[in-house]
């Protein structure tokens, strides 16, 4: 396993949590227009903090990649997530894809156990 793969494996869940917190901080002032100034300011800080975390993650992954330009061109959506704040919740889609893969592996393992028992 490369350093990049290890980083991505370890950071996937924390970044998904950050994406969820970002989404809440971004949506709350929109869903509740009468939100107080202090809460609105807190939401802004949450959004900016999430942006910093995503930017640092992207820079770390570029730094860990063996072929940096290849990484940048193959991960254009990740760059867009850092560059365009509205796309940050899309990080949750990566988590859903990971869950789907794990679910397939678990299903396959269960089927193999059933076949062996029969």
56-63 contact pairs (CB < 8 A, 24+)? 57/11, 57/15, 58/82, 60/7, 61/4, 61/7, 61/8
Angle at 67 between CA 66 and CA 72, to 5 degrees: 120
**Position 4 pLDDT exceeds 70:** yes
pLDDT in tens, 17-67: 998 898 899 889 888 889 999 999 999 999 889 989 989 999 999 999 999
pLDDT computed for residue 14 by the predictor: 92
76: pLDDT confidence band, cut at 50, 70 and 90? confident
Of 81, 97, 83, nearest to 19 by C-alpha is: 81
Residue 81 CB-density burial (10 A; 0-12 exposed, 13-18 middle, 19+ buried): buried
Report the predicted TM-score, pTM, of the whole model to 2 decimal places: 0.67
How far separated are the first and last CA of the chain, in Å rounded? 36
pLDDT computed for residue 82 by the predictor: 78
CA-atom Rg of the chain in angstroms: 18
Q: 107 or 13, which is more confident?
A: 13
What percentage of the chain carries pLDDT values higher than 70?
70
Who contacts 42 (Cβ-Cβ below 8 Å, separation ≥6)? 25
Which residue segment(s) compose the domain that 42 sits in? 3-117
- 75-89: average pLDDT: 73
107: pLDDT confidence band, cut at 50, 70 and 90? low
Total number of domains in the chain = 1
């Amino acid at each position: 396993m490369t350093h990049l793969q290890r980083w991505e494996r370890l950071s996937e869940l924390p970044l998904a949590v950050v994406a969820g917190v970002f989404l809440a901080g971004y949506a709350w002032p929109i869903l509740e227009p009468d939100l107080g100034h202090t809460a609105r300011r807190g939401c802004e800080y949450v959004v900016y903090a999430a942006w910093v975390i995503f930017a640092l993650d992207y820079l770390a992954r570029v730094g860990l990649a063996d072929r940096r330009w290849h990484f940048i061109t193959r991960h254009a959506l990740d760059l867009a997530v850092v560059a365009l704040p509205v796309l940050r919740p899309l990080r949750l889609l990566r988590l859903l894809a990971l869950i789907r893969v794990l679910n397939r592996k678990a299903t396959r393992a269960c089927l193999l156990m059933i076949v062996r028992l029969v």
